[in-house]
Structure 1
Amino acid sequence: MSWSIPAIAFCFIGCSDNLPKEDDQTSPSLQTDAVTLSIDASERFQRIDNFGASDAWACQFVGSWPDEKRNAIADLLFSTDTVSSGQPEGIGLSLWRFNIGAGSAQQGEQSGIRDEWRRAESFLEEDGSYNWQRQAGQVWFLKAAQERGVNKFLAFPNSPPVHLTKNGKAFASDAKPNLAPDRYNAYADFLADVIQGVERTQGISFGYISPVNEPQWDWSDGGQEGTPFMNEDIAGIVKALNTSLERRSLKTKIDIAEAGKINYLYEAADKPNRGNQIKAFFDSSSSYYVGDLSHMGKAVSAHSYFTTSPFDQAVAERKKLAAKVASVPGLEFWMSEYCILGDNAGEMDGNKRNLGIDPAIYLARVIHNDLAIANATAWQWWLAVSPYDYKDGLVYIDKDKADGAYYESKMLWALGNYSRFIRPGAVRVDAKLAGSKAEANTLLASSYIDTERNQLITVAVNAGIEPVKIKLAATGATITSIRPYVTAAEEDLKPGDIVSSDSDIILSPRSVTTLVATLQ
């Protein structure tokens, strides 16, 4: 996927929340009444599987940067260690997305993809052999993630290999699928070969394979690798892939279908043959039903683009999605890709790099809605490392293939408020705000119980320009102490003092705060 889709011009119609920004000059004053967060640990919802990000596209180069810099970037993304002050060293991602390239990099200028950084190598050579030395920079990050404790890996192509596509390119012609049906089996074998080859040569197992990416878009502009697919195509590819995985006795699960917007999962919308994907793939009466395949994953995936503003509309769409997912027994929802795109109803412009707190607050609100309203069991960011002038990166770099500076963003640390503390296996529990500040959408909070670590994790987002007092009131669990970790204009997951369970906790203006409560 890309945040740059020139064929799509999207804006929201409706009222903006008109949320304040960090440069607003209003003088804050502490409210006298505390907001109570009532947590019922006995009322449980989804079990969290992972928080992740992808290696597209910069990791192919940054993975070959000087050791000190590439290791520092890997620490920021994957580390769960802390420095002497108790400050987290990194955001502890628990899943890493590996882009299986289609070979546009080998084609060079002839690929038709203008930006060299958006081309990708392929393990598959023109003669049908495999070169496992390809994608070396990305493989370095795979190993770096594994060394820092990541044990969940997902592989995703944006396009079939150029040797299999209809036009010999890694992007489509005339907005039509760039893979003929008689090559579904060859494409499936390629994906299974890559999974098996990386496991054999690197010792890394891909738990998940996502064979198509944003099939609703046309992908005909040469901006990056990509191809559209109809639901019929996706079902055919998935069936072929299931056979290939079985033949090799691989344990990898298939992730379907990386929809370009969440509403394509529950309605036809403007893509009648590419929408309604929950019904298409998980309703046994559908011609495209694949829900009973042995390698089909337990989740359906989509991207949160173009559905995050205005706030009330974002909530309404996620309620519809949650209801549709719940109609299929055992099905889960993965939010598998997001960065800040578009105008977002005037709330946050996706253009221009901004390392500050404003986009971080916007991002935290999106994550909250995806977890607390849509019941997402996984939440995954797009470009972990970006050289671009957009709000698309966690870590930013100079656009230099050999070396350069890197820059931490507040979006990195805002995601870290979730990913660093809500570990795989944690379960979201009921959490309700009450108080004068609770009725406005400027204050959001969600809670998660982690029985393995004996913790209750709460992430609170204060989008306002005033500090807020908050008090936790838990039933179904006994809190002994609480430690806050704050991301704000001047803090990056800064640890606060440990306080007692009945203490008022101050949420700084324009901040994301994780409250780690120890349970009795």
Structure 2
Amino acid sequence: MFKSFKALTLLLLTVFYTTAQEKPTVKVTIDEFHPVQTIESFGASDAWGCQFAGKWPDEKRNRMAELLFSNESTKDGQPLGIGLNFWRFSIGAGSAEQGPASTIRDEWKRQASFLGLDGKYNWTAMPGQVWFLQAAKKYGVKDFLGFVNSPHVSFTLNERAYSSAGECNLDFSKLDLFTDDIVNTVKGVKKLTGIEFKYLSPVNEPQWKWADPKQEGCPYTNEELARLARNLSEKLIASKLLTKIQVGDAGQLDYLYGQGKSKGHQVNAFFHPDSKEYLGGLANVDRSISGHSYFTTSPEKKAVDIRKKVAEEVAKIKDLRYWMSEYCVLGDDSLKGPGRDLGMETALFIAKLIHHDLSISNATSWQWWLAISPGDYKDGLIYIDRNKEDGKVYDSKLLWAMGNYSRFIKPGSRRLPVTMTGSDGNRLHISSYQTGSKLVTVVVNRTKEDVNIDLLTNKSRYNAAEIHVTSEQYSLFPVQKYNRQTGITIPAQSVTTIISQR
């Protein structure tokens, strides 16, 4: 027994002081003299749920749009949204109008088209998706992309929005009709909403067979993709549209630099002048190549090595940019896709992946797959009840974790190289960005311990910092302000953004 209360108090203070002193400290050096890539955007797509969610009652759909696009906060500082600045619009193939005859089993994955099965255009055919287009515009989104999973069923070999044979399903005798439809859709959307798509992605994951009627999809070889892109390029020019063609959308990152000649080596195929599939000389083909991070997230060495190879391959082509244009959790060694997760497990997994895609493969744009999901799967930023007319809206920690990047790292920000020293440095994932006069540093701490970090810069002097935390307790909330750049506490199992100011 302690002889006095004073002795007990002294012991407790000693234990507390010793524990505080032992908290790991990581020194983070940020190199302002050698900026790397310029960040363009963070985005998501309107497939598949927006076609129904966009017709929900105003209060519900407005809340969904606010969560996705808003940069505003409540009076106590809680962000209302994650400030996405890029929106992907799914140009459907008409399977929704076919209904059960489409043989696509899930009606949520059948997609509408403005072009009807009767060959006439109906510009009221996609009200839910159009509503979200207009909502994004209202919140200040400027960059929009239209993407095509399958040619309209009127132009496919089997009159379905998927490939029965596992080979390209486009009837190339109807190529002109298909590209005319894409151009007509771009024009129609512009007339309807005032939005001219900045980009068009005419194919999606062309390496897969798309032979199972789960959703719309169409395979292409590099040669078939190039033939389609050249035709579309001519049609866009003739129509005096400024929209640029964005190519790649590889189903797996290693198709960008490997995996055979017919569907792989896409960087070289489309952007090396000696390639027969060369598209880089077309004025309206964007100088970006896109790929999807599926099946390349574990083990860690594999994830890192693949992304290094992507960066090396893209760097061989002058002025070529790399986009990570789609991801959700399908499953790997450490995290499986089935099972909706509104908590931090998926959020921390994805925050680490975003870090790797930005910091290792030098992605200039990072785009999530489903903005809104009705499923019991790890594929949504926002979840809704599987109801076409109304229901509950659920935000997720994944949404807010992505917001640590999308809300604060604005278009035009430059990523800055980061080095770490300290016993705990290899347990954190840290990236830093020059955003105007501010320095934005995102720290992913997947450990179960708080970590202190000291930020060191080699050019500018920053005198204050504010941290925004996504954790089980917080959703991108501004937790603490510092009048220094040292001794900043990164909470356990959190994604934390440090905003440094001069």
TM over 0.5: yes
- 1:365-444 correspondence runs (5 A): 365-438=352-425, 440=426, 442-444=427-429
Q: Which moved more, 1:472-481 or 1:159-168?
A: 472-481
Aligned to 1:295: 284
Q: In structure 1, how many angstroms separate the alpha carbons of the residues matched to 2:252 and 2:174?
A: 27
- Aligned residue for 2:159, secondary structure, equals coil
Q: In structure 1, how many angstroms separate the alpha carbons of the residues matched to 2:77 and 2:488?
A: 19
CA deviations 1:101-130 (Å, max 9, x no partner) are 100000000001000000011101234321
Q: In structure 2, how many angstroms separate the alpha carbons of the residues matched to 1:314 and 1:371?
A: 13
Aligned to 2:451: 468
Equivalent residues of 2:247, 2:288 under 8 A apart: yes
CA deviations 1:261-316 (Å, max 9, x no partner) are 0100000x2x5411111111111111111111011112100000000111121011
- Aligned residue for 1:340, secondary structure, equals coil
Is the aligned partner of 1:511 residue 2:498? no
CA deviations 1:197-249 (Å, max 9, x no partner) are 10012111110000000001111110001010111110001001100110111
For 1:492, the aligned partner's letter is S
Q: In structure 1, how many angstroms separate the alpha carbons of the residues matched to 2:229 and 2:174?
A: 13
Aligned to 1:351: 338
Q: In structure 2, how many angstroms separate the alpha carbons of the residues matched to 1:486 and 1:213?
A: 35
**Counterpart pick for 2:308 among 308, 312, 319:** 319
Q: In structure 1, how many angstroms separate the alpha carbons of the residues matched to 2:486 and 2:315?
A: 37
Q: Which moved more, 1:427-436 or 1:183-192?
A: 183-192
For 1:56, the aligned partner's letter is A
Is the aligned partner of 1:458 residue 2:447? no
Equivalent residues of 1:184, 1:236 under 8 A apart: no
Aligned to 1:201: 192
Larger Rg computed on CA atoms: 2
Aligned to 2:226: 235
Structure number with higher helix proportion: 2
- Aligned residue for 2:370, secondary structure, equals strand
- 1:30-429 correspondence runs (5 A): 31-267=22-258, 269=259, 272-342=261-331, 344-345=332-333, 347-429=334-416
Equivalent residues of 2:70, 2:81 under 8 A apart: yes
Q: In structure 1, how many angstroms separate the alpha carbons of the residues matched to 2:127 and 2:485?
A: 52
Q: In structure 2, how many angstroms separate the alpha carbons of the residues matched to 1:325 and 1:86?
A: 40
For 2:468, the aligned partner's letter is Y
CA deviations 1:359-384 (Å, max 9, x no partner) are 10000000000000000000000000
Q: Which moved more, 1:390-399 or 1:182-191?
A: 182-191
Deviation at 1:43, TM superposition (A): 1.1
Q: In structure 2, how many angstroms separate the alpha carbons of the residues matched to 1:196 and 1:87?
A: 39
Equivalent residues of 2:442, 2:495 under 8 A apart: yes
Deviation at 1:471, TM superposition (A): 1.1
Equivalent residues of 1:48, 1:424 under 8 A apart: yes
Q: In structure 1, how many angstroms separate the alpha carbons of the residues matched to 2:484 and 2:310?
A: 36
Q: In structure 1, how many angstroms separate the alpha carbons of the residues matched to 2:398 and 2:296?
A: 19
Deviation at 1:193, TM superposition (A): 1.0
- Aligned residue for 1:412, secondary structure, equals helix
Deviation at 1:33, TM superposition (A): 4.0
Q: In structure 2, how many angstroms separate the alpha carbons of the residues matched to 1:205 and 1:502?
A: 43
Aligned to 1:25: none
- Aligned residue for 2:455, secondary structure, equals strand
Is the aligned partner of 1:447 residue 2:432? yes
Aligned residues: 483
Equivalent residues of 1:185, 1:237 under 8 A apart: no
Compute the RMSD of aligned alpha carbons.
1.0
TM norm structure 1? 0.92
| Unpaired stretches in structure 1, ≥5 consecutive residues | 1-28
Equivalent residues of 2:97, 2:116 under 8 A apart: no
For 2:435, the aligned partner's letter is D
Q: In structure 2, how many angstroms separate the alpha carbons of the residues matched to 1:238 and 1:487?
A: 41
Q: In structure 1, how many angstroms separate the alpha carbons of the residues matched to 2:287 and 2:409?
A: 20
Is the aligned partner of 1:499 residue 2:492? no
Q: In structure 1, how many angstroms separate the alpha carbons of the residues matched to 2:441 and 2:487?
A: 14
Q: In structure 1, how many angstroms separate the alpha carbons of the residues matched to 2:451 and 2:103?
A: 53
Q: In structure 2, how many angstroms separate the alpha carbons of the residues matched to 1:167 and 1:338?
A: 29
- Aligned residue for 2:33, secondary structure, equals strand
Equivalent residues of 2:39, 2:365 under 8 A apart: yes
- Aligned residue for 2:31, secondary structure, equals strand
